[in-house]
Structure 1
Amino acid sequence: MVSFKTVWQFGILSLSFFCFASWKSSNVALEDEVEQKRKLVRREQQDKYSQKASTYQENILKPRQEANFRKKEEHFYRMTGEAWKLSEGYALGVDQDSEEGAVLGEEDFTSESPNQEAVRRRKLPESATRPPPPLEPPRQKRIVVLPEEPSNDVDGVVTIALRCPSGRIFKRRFLKSHSTQVLLDWMLKIGYHPAIYTLCTTYPRRPLEIGKETSLEDTGITSDTVLNVDEKDPST
């Protein structure tokens, strides 16, 4: 038989569980309501910010961008000599010559040439109406022609060998009376430009004296000789 104490304890537990469930459900409903209010407040704030941004864009940024664009456009037309494009022009049916004639007088037009009149109307700089200077004729490319290679049995013949940076050696015969300039022409002919490379003696290693009036014999080349093709020092 169930005692009264047991029944009373069971009732207390049931009441406690019911109260806890009611409190829990009320808290969940309250949290949902608070979250809905927060979302509504955030949406209203976002709408306000969007409206402010749109107003700032329309009233401040857009006029500023248009003003900057007009300045750049005006600067561009003035630099290119087309400042006349910035004028408002004339309405259709209005005689431009009659208006200018009324202001300036007929004698101003009779003393102007058509070219000067066009400059005045368009407000072009004089440099834009001047004829371009005559073009200089293109410089003819220098053709390197080496003297004919003499045979071994000719008096005054020397054989010169060029040792290149690549390791290759080129040999050719010249007369001792030939100008040292033919050595530079020969070096250019085999692919080494005199503006970048120079000729040096082997020992002692020194630059070879080159000149149109200096012969091979004047530089000491009186017998078969080996010369080095060296790259010039950029600092010199």
Structure 2
Amino acid sequence: MASRGVVGIFLLSALPLLCLELRRGKPDLEEEEKNEKRKKLVRKKQQEAQGEKVGRYIENVLKPSQEMKLKKLEERFYQMTGETWKLSNGHKLGGDEDLELDSESQTSFETSNREAAKRRNLPMPLTRVSPPAEQPTKKEVLDLPEEPPETAEEVVTVALRCPSGRVLRRRFFKSCSSQVLFDWMMKLGYRTSLYSLSTSFPRRPLEVEGGWSLQDIGITVDTVLNVEEKEQSN
């Protein structure tokens, strides 16, 4: 019993010292955690700085060097294949550059021809001059009077039976000049020097005088006229 009491008294006397040691150990743990956080932050900043250095090195040094090597390999390849024109920037199709190239090639071609002629003592080649284009003769345009409507009064329909077999019809006022029939025939392509107009039945040549109207020459109703070829005298 006495030994147990001694042990109890010893434990009671050692309890304040144990509490003091525990209090001292707690701040040490907090300080270690803070130090660990600082170390992680420092390592993170170092890694970021290192990554930036690597990126600048790739962009400023490594990438231009690789592009230069690739360009040299491309130039060497096209030189070996004889396609060095692919290394130029080229020209836009359809632009003024094509005209300039064509004129330059034509000039160089003519110059080479002249030099070759001089070496062979041959006469200089003559530049071909294209003959002036013939101006088309102006055909006389005949103006026919406006065709009256079907419901108009004093109107007559005239039909022309052409040598090709087609029949063309047109309306005229009875008071219209009789010369308009020949103008109409000429406008269809039948010249008065080669063709004439004649009535169908009885068949007779159509006579026209200056100042006569359709009514004056007997066309008072719908009439069919024949376009006939004149007999050519020897």
| Structure 2 length-normalised TM | 0.40
| Structure 1 length-normalised TM | 0.40
For the pair shown, the structure with the greater C-alpha radius of gyration is 2
